[in-house]
Structure 1
């Protein structure tokens, strides 16, 4: 890789704190092409922020870094304004996104981005690490398509890699790694994608190790969930369409939030 191989390097740093009974954004650092829309408070008191990439998406060689800290008692929700579009990479270079979260005891951070769409010939690599103090709450969902499905483009991307690790009080409680290379095998086979074009994963951690789920969300052949040995609640889902996946994911997410966080339904304004 030469000194000029990377095309763009974006940075976003956000610090949320509690002031009185409200969550405020005390610090934000933005370097294009990563930006945020002005934060606004939801009816439940959570402070919501939309992450924006005003360009056409990620290019091969791009680097995006997101770092977020949530203080004691603060409630923050991160969303993306639109889908993450990973553009073709003729050079074969990865578009890279590194995400680091830190949540203090009594704080809550939720990250529910729109789906990732890898275009034909694209390469994407993401790492996400969340460090939680004991008593912190965390929620995450991510969705992936097989490509630009509406254009008939399926499984034509080069490679998609993702690594998600959650740590609580210095102990790793969840690790999920995905490495999808369409040219390396039949991803449409049963037990893999099973002919579906949309997939999702999620993970939630309650404020205490005793946080319980009375009934794990499940839809035969479409959605499954459970708990890791160290208390993180995981979710997996497949669907043939985006709306079908979104409906199942939203219902499961809200059920888990209610049970693990004791939180009301998110009323998101777009």
Structure 2
């Protein structure tokens, strides 16, 4: 079932057998006051890749209303869901609140990335949004294995401090759960770091001055982790 402003393009199979589907917003972006919900359920043995067709443009509201997006994923034993959306771009004055919750059965696999621009950088709107908050939770077999909260408010926080953006304009996070224990983890000093927490989930952090540089590093890291954790062949995405 789908309802405007979100649509799902009919899924089709990739050469590796994974079923790929796009979430599409045919409007000018996410508007203040919008509340979007996405619910995805993956059955036993299924392989699903969920993408967005383009960057998510987060528009401001005339009355400072939040744009809200809630995503809830469930994956059965033996199933795999991967969610790799395009970049989120918060416009000046925008407010965005997002929650992502993945519930996995034992033996299920999950991976996702989230990429953020510090605003419409080329338009001179770097760090001019009102608020960007995102929370990601991953549960496996009834146990929470990963929790990440980001709450960026440029008017009240020094986001260019070392350890945060540090003057960069693009950032990304990622998490992968399930599958095998990785023998090696990707890293690019100064741009990308990764690790494995006590619950077995693999996390990734990245930041860069250039969007294309970030995307290239993130894509390489993603494929390395998919190979290590899931024994998966490289994705051959067709747009």
> How high is the TM-score relative to the length of structure 2?
0.99
The whole-number CA distance in structure 2 between the counterparts of 1:107 and 1:186 is: 41
- Number of the residue aligned with 1:229: 198
The aligned counterpart of 2:42 is 70
1:263 to 2:235 alignment: no
Query: Structure 2: how far apart are the matches of 1:167 and 1:36?
Result: 25
Residue 218 of structure 2 aligns with which residue?
Answer: 249
Cross-structure match for 1:96? 68
Matched, 1:189 2:161: yes
- Note the aligned Cα RMSD (angstroms): 0.7
Offset at residue 38 of structure 1 (A): 1.7
Please give the alpha-carbon distance, in whole angstroms, between the structure 1 residues aligned to 2:235 and 2:178. Answer: 17
Deviation at 1:90, TM superposition (A): 2.4
DSSP-derived class of the 1:258 partner: helix
Question: C-alpha displacement at 1:206, in angstroms?
Answer: 2.3
1:212 corresponds to which of 181, 184, 198? 181
- Structure 1 residues 46-94: Cα deviation after superposition (integer angstroms, max 9, x where no partner): 0000110000011111000000000000000000000000001221111
Is residue 102 of structure 2 the alignment partner of residue 130 of structure 1?
yes
Is the counterpart of residue 115 in structure 1 residue 87 in structure 2? Answer: yes
Distance in 2 (alpha carbons) for counterparts of 1:57 and 1:185: 26
- How many Å apart are 1:189 and its aligned residue? 1.9
1:74-120 CA-partner distances (Å, limit 9, x unpaired): 00000000000000122111100000000000000000000000000
CA distance in 2 between partners of 1:132 and 1:251 (Å) = 25
Residue 182 of structure 2 aligns to a residue in which SS?
Answer: coil
Structure 1: runs of 5+ lacking an equivalent: 1-28
| Cα distance in 2 for residues equivalent to 1:262 and 1:110 | 14
Residues 153-168 of structure 1 aligned to structure 2 (within 5 Å): 153-168=125-140
After superposition, what is the alpha-carbon deviation per residue over 1:119-156, rounded to whole angstroms, capped at 9, x for unaligned? 00000000010000000000000000000111121000
* Cα displacement (A) at 1:157: 0.3
Corresponding residue pairs, total: 239
Take 1:215 and 1:238, find their aligned partners in 2: how far apart are those partners? 21
Higher Rg: 1
Question: Is the 8 Å Cα contact of residues 205 and 232 (structure 1) preserved in structure 2?
Answer: yes
Q: Among 183, 198, 207, which residue is 1:238 paired with?
A: 207
CA distance in 1 between partners of 2:208 and 2:103 (Å): 31
Aligned to 2:119: 147
Which residue of 31, 39, 48 corresponds with 2:11?
39
1:49 and 1:79 in contact (8 A); partners too: yes
**Distance of 1:190 and 1:167 partners within structure 2:** 31
